[in-house]
Amino acid sequence: GCYHGHADYLLVKAGSGASTFGFPDSAGVPRDFTRNTILTSYNDISAV
C-alpha cells in the first residue's frame, strides 16, 4: 500500500491516553471526533 494522506479529525495522541481518554492531538481537533475514534493495532482484523 501507499500513503493516501490523513484526516485531521483522526489525529489523536498515541499511547494509553488516546486509547482510554481520546485526547485530541491539537486544539484544532474537536473532542467529539476523538471520542468516536477507535484505536486498534495495525493489521488486527479481529479488533475491528
Q: Tens place of pLDDT for every residue, the chain, 48 residues? A: 677 777 766 666 555 454 455 566 667 767 777 677 777 788 888 987
The structural domain count of the chain equals 1
Query: What pLDDT score does 32 carry?
Result: 76
What is residue 18's predicted lDDT score, i.e. its pLDDT? Answer: 46
Assess if residue 3 is contained within a domain: no
∠ CA(6), CA(42), CA(17), 5° rounding? 75
Q: Residue 26: give the domain boundaries.
A: 8-41
Residue 20 forms part of a structural domain: yes
Q: Is 31 within 8 Å of 18 (Cβ atoms)?
A: no
pLDDT of 1:
66
Cβ-proximal residues to 38 (8 Å cutoff; 6+ apart), any chain: none
Provide the whole-model pTM.
0.33
Would residue 46 count as lying in a domain? Answer: no
34 is a domain residue: yes
Residue 18 inside a domain? The answer is yes
Domain for residue 32, yes or no?
yes
Q: Is residue 48 part of a domain?
A: no
Provide the pLDDT for residue 19.
47
CB 24 within 8 A of CB 31: yes
